[in-house]
Structure 1
Amino acid sequence: MAEAHRRTSRFRLPVDKLAPHLMEAFERLDEAAEKVSLPLPLLELVRLRVSQINGCAYCVDSHNQDAREAEIPERTIAALPVWRESPFFSDQERVALDVAEALTTMNQAPVTDELWARAAEHFTKTELAELTWNVAIINVWNQLAGGARPWLIS
Structure 2
Amino acid sequence: MSDQHRVHLARAARPAYDALEAFATTVGDLAAEAGIDARLREMALIHASQLNGCAYCVRVHSDRAAKAGVSFDHLAQIPVWRESSVFTERERAALELTESFVFIHEEGVSDEVYDRVGGILSEEEYVALSWLLVSINAFNRIAIAGRYPVPERRGAPPTT
TM-score by length of 2: 0.84
State the Cα distance separating 1:147 from its structure 2 match: 1.2
Distance in 2 of aligned mates of 1:130 and 1:56: 22
Structure 1, unmatched stretches of 5+, are 1-10
The CA deviation string for residues 98-150 of structure 1, in whole angstroms up to 9 with x for no partner, is 01101111223332112111112221211111110001111111000011222
What is the aligned length? 144
- Aligned CA RMSD, in angstroms, stands at 1.4
Report the counterpart of residue 86 of structure 1 in structure 2.
84
Identity percentage of aligned residues? 30
State the Cα distance separating 1:14 from its structure 2 match: 1.6
Alignment of 1:18-97 (within 5 A): 18-35=12-29, 36=31, 37=34, 38-97=36-95
Runs of 4+ with >6 A deviation: none
Structure 2, unmatched stretches of 5+, are 154-160
Amino acid at match of 2:101: L
State the Cα distance separating 1:17 from its structure 2 match: 2.1
Amino acid at match of 1:26: L
TM-score by length of 1: 0.87
Report the counterpart of residue 157 of structure 2 in structure 1.
none
State the Cα distance separating 1:89 from its structure 2 match: 0.2
